[in-house]
Chains A and B, each alone.
Chain A
Amino acid sequence: MEQNNEMSAKQSLELIAETINNSRKGIIRNSGKHFILWGILLTLFSLAVYFLWKASGQAMWNCLWFAMPLVGFPLSYCLRKKSDYTAPDNLISRMMSQTWRIFCIFSLSVAAVAMIIARTTTPIALIGITPALVLMFGVAESINGILLKNNVITVAGWLIGIGGLVIYYVSGINIGQMLIFTFAGIMLTLTGVIVKYQNR
């Protein structure tokens, strides 16, 4: 872009609109790779918990979930550092990352409360952790869809939340419920791919 001081009013407004639009697309595209990273991690961890739990019969393998942020956050940091520049945050990217940050905090808290406190005070934890988490996941995904104005992501969020709940009640409390998270992980990865390619 060179110096040009002879722009018409229409050209100036077009330049502003185009620059803002390109910048927005770049910022949102940048967040796509983080969706893909966390989607792949969720898929892998859910499969790992599923197979280890199934093989050993020990529900304690669910503790493996707590390792997911320990792996994910350093990888996310590396992904950010790998870029030759820091993509800035705008309102949409900030709201998207905050939505998932809140989801992460709530998920770890719900799981910790159910595993530690409920076990010591009641014989069984009365909250179904899987449906609670899958509902929160669906809500977070749908909010992202609305922010991105993408109906596929919004509906995918609803499908994960409500569909996951239906699968949970239909299949009952068993190891197979871990596969709901595998489904959620695949949907999150697909969201990342859509975000990345829709904003090319």
Chain B
Amino acid sequence: MFPKLDSLLHSELRLAVMSILSEVESADFTYIKKQTGSTSGNLSVQLDKLSAAEYITVEKGFKGKMPCTTCRITDKGIEAFRQYVEALRSYLMPSDSSLHSE
């Protein structure tokens, strides 16, 4: 039986955001936008969804006089991301994942 994929992470942009944040301590909105090549509006909506699920925290502040939004992955987000990757692996290598679970 294949594990169910987390529907919140099974979306291109949200998955890209989580991949970026899994690698760094924190990243600002402009950096994520540049890395993902997304529009500001779309990215904002997806960040809100991840934040509502407590997968990330979004902190609004200022860098000098410029507004700055900083995103950070939470422990819950890391665990969800890890489980999502494990689930994907089990889809591709079912025998391999059964070995791991033993």
Contact = CB atoms under 8 A, between A and B. Distances in A.
B19 A27 contact: no
Contact of B12 (A3, A9, A90): A3
A81 B89 CA distance: 41
Interface in B1-44: 7, 10-13, 15-16, 19-20, 22-28, 30-31, 34-38, 42
Contact of A13 (B7, B38, B88): B88
A2 B11 CA distance: 9
B63 interface: yes
A81 B68 CA distance: 13
A90 B24 contact: yes
Contacts of B7: 5
Given A1-B16, A85-B28, A23 B88 contact: no
A123 to B, nearest CB: 50
A23 B32 CA distance: 9
Interface in A88-113: 88-90
B44 to A, nearest CB: 13
Interface string A22-54: 111011000000000000000000000000000
B85 interface: yes
Contacts, number: 82
A12 B23 contact: no
Contacts of B10: 5, 7, 12
A35 B16 CA distance: 29
A1 B36 contact: yes
B88 A87 contact: no
B23 A20 contact: yes
Please indicate which of the listed interface residues A4, A10, A85 has the most CB atoms of chain B within 10 Å of its own CB: A85
Interface in B54-89: 63-64, 68, 85, 88-89
A1 to B, nearest CB: 5
A81 B19 CA distance: 26
Nearest to A26: B35
A84 B68 CA distance: 11
Contacts of A19: 15-16, 19-20, 35-36
A1 B37 CA distance: 6
Given A2-B13, A16-B19, 9 more contacts: A2-B38, A2-B42, A3-B12, A15-B19, A22-B35, A23-B24, A23-B35, A81-B64, A90-B24
Interface of B: 7, 10-13, 15-16, 19-20, 22-28, 30-31, 34-38, 42, 46, 63-64, 68, 85, 88-89, 91-92
14 contacts: A1-B36, A3-B11, A5-B7, A5-B10, A9-B91, A13-B92, A19-B36, A23-B20, A23-B23, A85-B30, A88-B27, A88-B31, A89-B24, A90-B24
